[in-house]
A and B are shown apart, each in its own frame.
Chain A
């Protein structure tokens, strides 16, 4: 069965520090992988996606993610966090037939 695990419920980083949010997935075939961000009071916005090809994908707002098949992981990274990055982040896997499975989310706090 498909599943997505985000092991970190909450992360706090200082502004300017680097960030890595973890995501592990379980899926029988080659997955389509996504990272979404949810700002307070807003819907979810796509940060980046992986379908095939280069395992390092670039997204909006300076985010990137690396697909590692051997580790079943798709971790999100940013070299230098800004205060505006404080939000909730969701990893998702897209299965055949346009079904999507989400992780439980990681809440990011950025301290000045």
Chain B
């Protein structure tokens, strides 16, 4: 089983709908991240959390919200989806050390019509 699991892997929805992307991890890491990947733009940070009570905005947080339900779970919500939120979304985790690397899920492809 994957260490970082994202659900759903693919989702098509309509403008205005509320969408939740879920991430769970078995690595025991404190730090969790949500990134968005768009062609030609690389990965951009949406939100990150260093523990259950610590939530931080990334560079493109507008239109998104997150919930850290437990150390192992970090959900990303789009309250009212719009077409330019069509993208590939990645959840990632990192250990507490500053030199730690990121461990990624396999991604959730979201299409907003």
Contacts and interface: CB of A to CB of B under 8 A. Distances in A.
A42 B90 CA distance: 10
Contact of B40 (A44, A94, A99, A104): A104
A100 B106 contact: no
Nearest to B38: A104
A90 B39 CA distance: 12
A34 interface: yes
B41 interface: yes
Interface residues of B, number: 26
Given A32-B98, A32-B99, A103 B104 contact: no
The secondary-structure label for the interface of chain B is: strand
A51 interface: yes
B48 interface: yes
Interface residues of A, number: 25
B98 A100 contact: no
B45 A42 contact: no
Contacts of B4: 43
Contacts of B92: 44
B98 A43 contact: no
